[in-house]
C-alpha cells in the first residue's frame, strides 16, 4: 500500500451536475482535482495524477474501463478506486444540496472490503434431460456432441422414436432430487429402457422402482413442478417450459456451457459450536431452517449444517441467527458496518443533516437508481444509497449501528416480486423499528420499499419523514465476530437514544430477552446450564449457584424445554441495564456438608427434601433400618463405604404377596366358598 496521501479526481460530467468542493474538502480531505471532461479532453489530468503514484479515487464508474486501460498502458501501480456520484447524487433535482452526500459516498468507497472466499464446483458434462415428449429428445440431439446426454421421459405419451440412438432414452419419474452442479442424485420410480425395436412410437420394457441416477447437470423440460425449492437458484439445475421455444433455447444454450470448474462465493461463514439448534435431542432455535429458500440448511445433531454448494446467498440465515453461528461473508458484517460508519460520519462532517440510508442490491437496486437519475427526479439529497449483496442479509447489528451512528431512517429497496423470501427481513425491520421508537428516535423509521418503478421509489422516499437525529452519535469502530459486534451496537444505540428507556418489551420469538425463573421451585440441578448453548446460564464450581447473563441469551428455549421442574419461562425484551451489567445470581444456596467427612456436596434444601420424602416412609428407611437414612446425608465416597460396611442389601425388600391369576382366584373361591380377596 502506498504511503502517499490519496488523491481525489471529481468530474462534473460535462457540467451536467454541480460539484460542492467545500463539502468535498470537509468530508474527504486530501488533494482534490476537479475536471469537466476527465474521460476526454482532460484525460491528461488523470495521467498526471497517475504519475504521482498516490492512490487515486475517481468519482466516475461509467468510464472505469477507460481509466484502468490508461493506467495499464502507462504501467502505473497506483491503486484505483471508482465511485458513482452522478446517478446517486449529482443527477437529481436536489443536486445543489447533494454535496455532503457526494463526499460521504466517496469516503465510504475508500473503505477496503476483505477478499471473497470461493467455493469450487466441478462438472464433467454428464447431463440428464428430464422431459415428457419429443422436445426433450430434440434437446438431447442438440447437446449430444458437447455433453454426455441421457434423456428421461416422465409419463410419456405417444413419442416418436429418434432415427439414431446417439444417447440413451428411458422413461422414469423423479421421486426426489438433491445435490448441485457436478453432484446431483435423483431417486427414480417407473424406470425402463426404450426398446430398440420401437417403430411408430417409443415402447418401453418392464419398469422398476427405486432406481438412483447421478449426473452433473439437469435440464428439466418436463413442465411439471420444479424438482427443487427456489429452483432458479440451484446451480446446475435448468428448467424451461417445453411449450415456450425461447425458454427452451435459452436453457439449451446455458447447459452447453456447464462443463469445467466454476467458482461461486462462499456466502455464509458457519461456526458449529455457536449454533443453538438443539441439545440432548431437544430442539431449540430453528430460525434459519424456517427461512432458507433453497434447502441448503439441514439439522445435523446439536447444530445445523449449511451446504455452501447449494447456498444462493440470500443471507436470511445470517440476518436472524441470534448467536452469530451463521454470519454473512460478502462482506462480513463488521466490514459493512465500518463502511456505514464512514458514510454517516462523513455526511455529518460535510454538513449533511437527517440522513436516511437506502440499502439496495446491485442487480435490482442499481438499475432502479440509474433510471431514476436519468429519467426522473433522482434520489433526494439526504438519502444515502449503500449497496449490499442482498438486502435480506442485513441483521439487527447493522440497523442498530446505523441509528447509533446518526441515521434518522433506513429504507430497503426490494423488488416488486422479491426473488428471495423477505419474511426474515420484515421481522428484523419490524423489531428494530419498535426498538428505536421506544428509544425516542421516532415512528416507522425502518421501511421496506417493494417496487419496480423508479418514480415509485422517489415517491416513497419523499414520503419518508426522518426521525429525531441523535445529538450523541456513536464513534465505535466495528471489528470482530457478529454477536459481540451486535452487543456493542445495541449498547451504543442506547447511549445515543434521544429518550432512552431501560427496558423495551418485545414479541415472543425475538432473539433477545431474559428468563422468568421460579426461584422457590428451582433445585439447582443445572440441567439448564448444560443445555444453554451460549453460556447465558452458568454455575459456580465453588458453591451451589445459578447465574444468568441476559446480554448473550438468544431465547432459543432450550432451558425452558430442559428444566425438569418447569420453572423457567422466556421473557422477550431488551434490558439495556442487564446488557451492561455482569451476570446476575439467580439462586444461591449453602452446600450440604457430608455428615461423615464434612465435604460439601449438593444443596441443603435438596438433601433435606430427599430425606423428608424417604425417612420413615420407604421400607429401606423404616423400623430397624431407620438409621440408614444417614447415607443420603453422605457424599459419594462415604456413602459407598457405609453401604459396604453395613452389608446393606438394596434388594432385601419385604416379600410381596404372590400374583393371583384368574385360575388361582377361581380355585381359592371353590375351596373356601368365599371371595379370596376378602379372606
The CATH number that applies at residue 548 is 3.30.70.3270
Element (H, E) at 374: helix 365-375
Q: What is the pLDDT of residues 97-142, one digit of tens each?
A: 999 999 999 999 999 999 999 999 999 999 999 999 999 999 999 9
Written as nine digits, the cell of 654 is: 419385604
pLDDT band at 650 (very low <50, low <70, confident <90, very high): low
- The closest alpha carbon to 382, from 352, 341, 412, belongs to 352
Terminus-to-terminus CA distance in the chain, angstroms?
103
The answer to whether residue 555 sits within a structural domain is: yes
The answer to whether residue 452 sits within a structural domain is: yes
Residue 72 pLDDT greater than 80, yes or no: yes
Judgement on whether residues 580 and 627 belong to the same structural domain of the protein = no
The answer to whether residue 389 sits within a structural domain is: yes
Q: Is the peptide bond before 410 cis (omega within 30 degrees of 0)?
A: no
Residue 2 pLDDT greater than 70, yes or no: no
Judgement on whether residues 283 and 392 belong to the same structural domain of the protein = no
> How many domains does the chain fold into?
6
The per-residue pLDDT for 3 is 66
The answer to whether residue 420 sits within a structural domain is: yes
The larger pLDDT score, comparing residue 223 to residue 30, is at 223
The per-residue pLDDT for 679 is 44
Judgement on whether residues 620 and 656 belong to the same structural domain of the protein = yes
Judgement on whether residues 137 and 243 belong to the same structural domain of the protein = yes
Residue 208 β-bridge partners: 191
Q: Which of 347-351, 415-419, 557-561, 626-630 has the lowest mean pLDDT?
A: 626-630
The per-residue pLDDT for 1 is 43
DSSP-assigned states of every residue in 40-53 = TTTHHHHHHHHHT-
Q: Which of 588, 620, 647 lies at the terminal end of a domain, its last residue?
A: 588
> What is the distance between the alpha carbons of residues 219 and 207, in angstroms, rounded to a whole number?
23
Judgement on whether residues 511 and 486 belong to the same structural domain of the protein = no
Residue whose grid cell is 413419442: 159
- The CA-atom distances, in angstroms, between 202 and each of 96, 102, 193, 199, 551 are 72, 67, 10, 7, 67
Residue 267 pLDDT greater than 60, yes or no: yes
Other CB atoms within a 10 A radius of the CB of residue 393 amount to 29
Q: Which of 468, 500, 532 lies at the terminal end of a domain, its last residue?
A: 500
Counting other chains too, the contacts that 639-645 makes at CB distance below 8 Å and 24 or more residues apart are 641/596, 642/596
The answer to whether residue 99 sits within a structural domain is: no
Residue 616 pLDDT greater than 80, yes or no: no
Q: What is the pLDDT of residues 145-167, one digit of tens each?
A: 999 999 999 999 899 999 888 99
The per-residue pLDDT for 663 is 81
The per-residue pLDDT for 675 is 55
Considering the chain, what percentage of its residues have pLDDT values greater than 90? 81
The larger pLDDT score, comparing residue 499 to residue 623, is at 499
Judgement on whether residues 348 and 475 belong to the same structural domain of the protein = yes
Judgement on whether residues 345 and 491 belong to the same structural domain of the protein = yes
- The closest alpha carbon to 117, from 269, 318, 313, belongs to 269
Taking the CA atoms of 465, 469, 475 and 476 in sequence, report the sign of the dihedral they define: negative
Written as nine digits, the cell of 376 is: 426522473
299: left (phi over 0), alpha (psi -120 to 50) or beta: beta
Mean of pLDDT values over 20-43: 94
Q: Which of 542, 560, 588 lies at the terminal end of a domain, its last residue?
A: 588
Scanning 270-421, the segments in alpha helix (DSSP H) are: 287-291, 316-320, 333-349, 365-375, 396-405
Mean of pLDDT values over 307-317: 96
Written as nine digits, the cell of 61 is: 464508474
Average pLDDT, the chain: 93
The per-residue pLDDT for 335 is 96
Taking the CA atoms of 337, 340, 344 and 347 in sequence, report the sign of the dihedral they define: positive
> What is the distance between the alpha carbons of residues 321 and 319, in angstroms, rounded to a whole number?
6
**DSSP-based three-state secondary structure for 610:** helix
pLDDT band at 654 (very low <50, low <70, confident <90, very high): low
Contacts of 214 (CB under 8 A, 6+ apart): 126, 183, 184, 185, 186
**Burial (Cβ within 10 Å: 0-12, 13-18, ≥19) of residue 316:** buried
- The closest alpha carbon to 423, from 392, 460, 388, belongs to 392
The per-residue pLDDT for 669 is 76
Judgement on whether residues 341 and 487 belong to the same structural domain of the protein = yes
The answer to whether residue 222 sits within a structural domain is: yes
CATH number at residue 370: 3.40.50
> What is the distance between the alpha carbons of residues 22 and 44, in angstroms, rounded to a whole number?
24
**DSSP-based three-state secondary structure for 330:** coil
Q: Which domain holds residue 291?
A: 266-328
Residue 389 pLDDT greater than 80, yes or no: yes
Residue 586 pLDDT greater than 50, yes or no: yes
Highest-confidence segment of 267-271, 598-602, 637-641, 651-655? 267-271
R_g of the chain computed on alpha carbons:
35
Q: Which of 271-275, 523-527, 617-621 has the lowest mean pLDDT?
A: 617-621
> What is the distance between the alpha carbons of residues 20 and 35, in angstroms, rounded to a whole number?
13
Starting at the earlier edge strand, list the strands of the sheet with 169-180: 211-215, 183-193, 169-180, 148-153, 126-131, 217-220, 237-239
- The closest alpha carbon to 60, from 84, 42, 43, 91, belongs to 84
CATH number at residue 214: 3.50.50.60
Residue whose grid cell is 439414431: 164
Q: At what angle do helices 333-349 and 99-109 cross, to 10 degrees?
A: 150
Other CB atoms within a 10 A radius of the CB of residue 221 amount to 28
Q: What does DSSP assign to residue 201?
A: S
Q: What does DSSP assign to residue 87?
A: I
CATH number at residue 293: 3.30.70.20
The per-residue pLDDT for 659 is 79
Q: Which of 395-399, 457-461, 570-574, 641-645 has the lowest mean pLDDT?
A: 641-645
Read off the pTM: 0.87
Q: Which of 407-416, 429-438, 620-629 has the lowest mean pLDDT?
A: 620-629
Residue 87 pLDDT greater than 80, yes or no: yes
Whether 271 contacts 324, CB under 8 Å: yes
Parallel/antiparallel/unpaired status of strands 237-239 and 303-306: unpaired
Judgement on whether residues 413 and 450 belong to the same structural domain of the protein = yes
Contacts of 115 (CB under 8 A, 6+ apart): none
The answer to whether residue 23 sits within a structural domain is: yes
The answer to whether residue 106 sits within a structural domain is: no
Judgement on whether residues 566 and 667 belong to the same structural domain of the protein = no
Mean of pLDDT values over 590-594: 85
Judgement on whether residues 455 and 363 belong to the same structural domain of the protein = yes
The per-residue pLDDT for 384 is 98
- Strand residues in 23-125 grouped as ranges (E): 31-35, 56-58, 80-82, 118-123
Question: How far out from the chain centre does Cα 566 lie?
Answer: 31
Judgement on whether residues 556 and 608 belong to the same structural domain of the protein = no
Count of CA atoms in the C-beta half-sphere (13 A) of 114: 18
Q: What is the pLDDT of residues 451-494, one digit of tens each?
A: 999 999 999 999 999 999 999 999 999 999 999 999 999 999 99
The per-residue pLDDT for 438 is 98
Residue 620 pLDDT greater than 90, yes or no: no
Written as nine digits, the cell of 579 is: 446488557
Q: Residue 495 — φ and ψ, nearest 5°?
A: -70, -30
Written as nine digits, the cell of 326 is: 451463521
Contacts of 3 (CB under 8 A, 6+ apart): none
Residue 676 pLDDT greater than 60, yes or no: no
> What is the distance between the alpha carbons of residues 538 and 584, in angstroms, rounded to a whole number?
10
Residue 618 pLDDT greater than 80, yes or no: no
Starting at the earlier edge strand, list the strands of the sheet with 568-575: 503-505, 568-575, 513-517
Amino acid at each position: 500500500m502506498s504511503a502517499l496521501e490519496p488523491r481525489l479526481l471529481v468530474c462534473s460530467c460535462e457540467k451536467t451536475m454541480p460539484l460542492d468542493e467545500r463539502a468535498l474538502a470537509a468530508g474527504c480531505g486530501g488533494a482534490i482535482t476537479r475536471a469537466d471532461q476527465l474521460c476526454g479532453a482532460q484525460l491528461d489530468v488523470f495521467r498526471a495524477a497517475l504519475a504521482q503514484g498516490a492512490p487515486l479515487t475517481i468519482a466516475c464508474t461509467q468510464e472505469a474501463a477507460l481509466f484502468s486501460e490508461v493506467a495499464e498502458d502507462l504501467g502505473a501501480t497506483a491503486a484505483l478506486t471508482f465511485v458513482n456520484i452522478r446517478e446517486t447524487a449529482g443527477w437529481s433535482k436536489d443536486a445543489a444540496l447533494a454535496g455532503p452526500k457526494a463526499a460521504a459516498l466517496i469516503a465510504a468507497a475508500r473503505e477496503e472490503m476483505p477478499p471473497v472466499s470461493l467455493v469450487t464446483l466441478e462438472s464433467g458434462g454428464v447431463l440428464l434431460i428430464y422431459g415428457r415428449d419429443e422436445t426433450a429428445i430434440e434437446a438431447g440431439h442438440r447437446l449430444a456432441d458437447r455433453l454426455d446426454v441421457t434423456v428421461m421421459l416422465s409419463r410419456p405419451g405417444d413419442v416418436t422414436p429418434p432415427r439414431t440412438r446417439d444417447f440413451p432414452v428411458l422413461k422414469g419419474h423423479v421421486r426426489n432430487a438433491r445435490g448441485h452442479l457436478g453432484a446431483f442424485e435423483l431417486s427414480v420410480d417407473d424406470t425402463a429402457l426404450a426398446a430398440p425395436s420401437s417403430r411408430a412410437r417409443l415402447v418401453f420394457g418392464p419398469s422398476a422402482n427405486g432406481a438412483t441416477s447421478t449426473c452433473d447437470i439437469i435440464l428439466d423440460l418436463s413442465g411439471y413442478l420444479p424438482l427443487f425449492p427456489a429452483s432458479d437458484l440451484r446451480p446446475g439445475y435448468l428448467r424451461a417450459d417445453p411449450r415456450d421455444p425461447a425458454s427452451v433455447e435459452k436453457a439449451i444454450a446455458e447447459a452447453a456451457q456447464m462443463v469445467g470448474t466454476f467458482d461461486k462465493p462462499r456466502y455464509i461463514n458457519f461456526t458449529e459450536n455457536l449454533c443453538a439448534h438443539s441439545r440432548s435431542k431437544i430442539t431449540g432455535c430453528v430460525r434459519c431452517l424456517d427461512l432458507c429458500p433453497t434447502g441448503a440448511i439441514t439439522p445435523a445433531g446439536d447444530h445445523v449444517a449449511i451446504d455452501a454448494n447449494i447456498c444462493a446467498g440470500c443471507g436470511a440465515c445470517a440476518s436472524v441467527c441470534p448467536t452469530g453461528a451463521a454470519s454473512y461473508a460478502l462482506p462480513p458484517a463488521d466490514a459493512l458496518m465500518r463502511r456505514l460508519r464512514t458514510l454517516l460520519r462523513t455526511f455529518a462532517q460535510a454538513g449533511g443533516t437527517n440522513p436516511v440510508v437506502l440499502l439496495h442490491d446491485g442487480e435490482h437496486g442499481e438499475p432502479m437508481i440509474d433510471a431514476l437519475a436519468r429519467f426522473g427526479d433522482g434520489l433526494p439529497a439526504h438519502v444515502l444509497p449503500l449497496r449490499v449483496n442482498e438486502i435480506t442479509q442485513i441483521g439487527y447489528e447493522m440497523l442498530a449501528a446505523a441509528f447509533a451512528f446518526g441515521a434518522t431512517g433506513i429504507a430497503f429497496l426490494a423488488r416488486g416480486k422479491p426473488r428471495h423470501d423477505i419474511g426474515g427481513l420484515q421481522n428484523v425491520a419490524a423489531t428494530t423499528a419498535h426498538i428505536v421508537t421506544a428509544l425516542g428516535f421516532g415512528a416507522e423509521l425502518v421501511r421496506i420499499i417493494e417496487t419496480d418503478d423508479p418514480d415509485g421509489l422517489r415517491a416513497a422516499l419523499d414520503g419518508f419523514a426522518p426521525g429525531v437525529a441523535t445529538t450523541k452519535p456513536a464513534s465505535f469502530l466495528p471489528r470482530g465476530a457478529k454477536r459481540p459486534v451486535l452487543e456493542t451496537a445495541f449498547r451504543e444505540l442506547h447511549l445515543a437514544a434521544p429518550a432512552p428507556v431501560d427496558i423495551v418489551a418485545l414479541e415472543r420469538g425475538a432473539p433477545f430477552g431474559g428468563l422468568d425463573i421460579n426461584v422457590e421451585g428451582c433445585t439447582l440441578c443445572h440441567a439448564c446450564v448444560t443445555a444453554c448453548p451460549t453460556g447465558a446460564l452458568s454455575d459456580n464450581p465453588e458453591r451451589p449457584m445459578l447465574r444468568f447473563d441476559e446480554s448473550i441469551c438468544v431465547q432459543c428455549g432450550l432451558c425452558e424445554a430442559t428444566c425438569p421442574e418447569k420453572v423457567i419461562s422466556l421473557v422477550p425484551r431488551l434490558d439495556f441495564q442487564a446488557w451492561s451489567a455482569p451476570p446476575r445470581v439467580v439462586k444461591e444456596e449453602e452446600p450440604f456438608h457430608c455428615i461423615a467427612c464434612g465435604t460439601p456436596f449438593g444443596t441443603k434444601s435438596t438433601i433435606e427434601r430427599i430425606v423428608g420424602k424417604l425417612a420413615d416412609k420407604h421400607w429401606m428407611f423404616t423400623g430397624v433400618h431407620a438409621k440408614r437414612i444417614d447415607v443420603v446425608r453422605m457424599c459419594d465416597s462415604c456413602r459407598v463405604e457405609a453401604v459396604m460396611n453395613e452389608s446393606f442389601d438394596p434388594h432385601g425388600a419385604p416379600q410381596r404377596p404372590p400374583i393371583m391369576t384368574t385360575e388361582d382366584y377361581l380355585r381359592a373361591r371353590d375351596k373356601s366358598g368365599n371371595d379370596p380377596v376378602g379372606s
